[in-house]
Chains A and B, each alone.
Chain A
């Protein structure tokens, strides 16, 4: 079965520090997709990035970057120069095929607090 582990339950950093959120996944599929979502205090889930298993290139988007390594089954997320607005719960998710469609298997989430 698919599984996503986010070992860091809570992280606190001071504004402008860099922070990395860890994600480790388990799957027997050769083709799969990984996602990161952000859940700010308002509660909605915001999609951040999608990555497929064939593309191990790291990606940078502004202050955000993602490091995907198949060899270690990890898909880590780094925020550079963190800001208070980055405070949220961050979820890593893995796409799995179901009988008739797709499911997203979520990790338990990492709560990030950025202190001013």
Chain B
């Protein structure tokens, strides 16, 4: 049972480089999310997608773009990496929609990104 798979697990970038974090889920979930985790701040929402073809900004979207390629896949792109984007990134999915808020999120293993 794969659940939520995200790649890569680790990445080091130089300031100004770009990269895409990939995420796929096999649970047929409607909603997908990208969070970043920083020490002492819990997880903060970067972008989310409530359904295929829709994306919306979360709490900390600056410097990121996303693509909901299909129902399974949701990618996060850093166009010009900055040291402030050093963080652990988590992709997640849930069955939730606008009406139903009672479903838990399932998380990928995380990507530890360092920007030097």
Q: What is A's interface to B at a CB cutoff of 8 Å?
A: 4, 9, 31-33, 35, 37, 43-45, 47, 50, 52, 91, 95-104, 106-109
B42 close to A106 (CB less than 8 A): yes
Residue of B nearest to A52 (CB): B102
Contacts between chains A and B (CB distance < 8 A), count: 82
Contact digits for B17-28, partner A, Cβ 8 Å, 1 yes 0 no: 000000000000
A97 close to B98 (CB less than 8 A): yes
- Complex CA–CA separation, A44 to B111 (angstroms): 10
A9 close to B40 (CB less than 8 A): yes
- B105 an interface residue at 8 Å Cβ cutoff? yes
Complex contacts, A37 vs chain B, CB 8 Å: 107
Chain A min CB distance to B27 (Å): 13
Q: A32-B101, A47-B106 are in contact. Are A102 and B94 (CB under 8 A)?
A: yes
A47 close to B104 (CB less than 8 A): yes
